[in-house]
Amino acid sequence: MGYVNRSIRGYTFLLWVATLLVLVESRRSKQPRCPSGCTCTKDNALCENVRTVPHSFPPDVVSLSFVKSGFTEISGGSFLHTPSLQLLLFTANSFDYIDEDAFQGLPHLEYLFIENNKIESVSPFAFRGLKSLIHLSLAYNNLETLPKDIFKGMDALTKVDLRGNMFNCDCKLKWLVEWMYSTNATVDQLYCSGPPPYQGKKINDLVPQSFDCITAEFALKKTLAFESISVEAFTFGNDQYVVYAQPFSGKCSFMEWDHVNMEFRAYETIESTSTVVCKPMVIDNHLFIVVAQLFGGSHIYKRDNSANKFIKIQDIDILKIRKPNDIETFRLDGEFFFVIADSSKAGSTTVYKWNGNGFYSHQSLHPWYRDTE
């Protein structure tokens, strides 16, 4: 009997050991192996002549290099599967573009070398998220310019190498000169390949004032003293107008372009309540204004030129339009329409059509509920 018990205990022990070995082997088999075309050591990997960026590397790899690879670009999210990388190198490859978020998911990357490739353009957000990057090299590629603020957010940079590119020192590159003056990073000596006035000059010696750039920027023209939720511009009688919807004061405020003083001046007002949209429509030289209100119903006004004022000509069906949010006008086969998007579940987004005397409900759209636009 004792012999039998010992045999059972021995069998149980062997079964437990076998199970443990299976679990260990199973865990080992789940660990990524070195991809085809790559050579891996404990913490380094070298890939040569691969056609795509592999997505499986041993978890301890912190240094990864690509040589003579066949892919045409570094696409977004290429390295999400290697979050531990600290050094990444590309040399003698054939790709010519670096995509947006190409290095996403690399919070520990400190050294990025992209040298002796054929890069012609880089996405403005190619290096987004590389907050730990210390050293960046784009040396000896085919770059003629760089997107503005491409280094934004990379505050840890101490070294940037851009040598060996064919930079065109025009206004598109002015930002780089300004950045070089403000950054704490060291930038190797660069030279202009053009245009002729700058050809052969050191970019490092240029100053922002060296560039004669004419920029088109909006400047503040006038500040209006009221708040508005929407604004519409329109032409009527060869004059230019804008109308503002003011929900708090309950008005449609019109302004007319003053050709003498070259600014908009106050023109007319339609009194209303909780106004969200004042939509102009010009039909057969007549001006109509569709006034959408959150409370008190929505209405249509017409400009009476003889009386020189707006006259309400029609109420809009309050059972369909409960809480208007947007109005758009359009013309189809010579007919005039407008559509009101209703954001109330009890209301209905509705198309209205001009019949020569007024507007009538032409079609209620499918009840999507809470339409906003």
pLDDT tens per residue, range 210-268: 888 876 667 778 888 888 989 999 999 889 999 999 988 889 999 999 988 888 999 99
What is 32-215's CATH topology?
3.80.10
Q: Decide: helix, strand or coil at residue 167.
A: coil
Give pLDDT tens digits for 97-134.
999 999 999 999 999 999 999 999 999 999 999 999 99
| Whole-prediction pTM | 0.54
Residue type at position 176: L
The reply to whether domains 32-215 and 230-364 share a CATH topology is no
Question: What does the pLDDT read at residue 55?
Answer: 86
Ordered by start, the domain boundaries in the chain are 32-215, 230-364
Question: What does the pLDDT read at residue 213?
Answer: 82
Tell me the CATH number for domain 230-364. Answer: 2.120.10.70
Q: In sequence order, what are the residues at sequence separation of 6 or more whose Cβ sits closer than 8 angstroms to the Cβ of residue 174?
A: 208, 211, 213
Q: In sequence order, what are the residues at sequence separation of 6 or more whose Cβ sits closer than 8 angstroms to the Cβ of residue 320?
A: 342, 347, 348, 350, 361, 364
Q: In sequence order, what are the residues at sequence separation of 6 or more whose Cβ sits closer than 8 angstroms to the Cβ of residue 225?
A: none
Phi and psi at 180, nearest 5°, equal: -60, -30
Q: Decide: helix, strand or coil at residue 112.
A: strand
For the chain, residues with pLDDT lower than 50 are 1-29
- Which of 88, 39, 38, 81 minimizes the C-alpha distance to 62? 88
Question: What does the pLDDT read at residue 222?
Answer: 82
Question: What does the pLDDT read at residue 6?
Answer: 43
Question: What does the pLDDT read at residue 370?
Answer: 61
Q: Which residue has the tokens 């106050």?
A: 266
Q: How far is CA 106 from the centre of its chain?
A: 21
Q: DSSP letter string over 56-73?
A: ---TT--EEEEES---SE
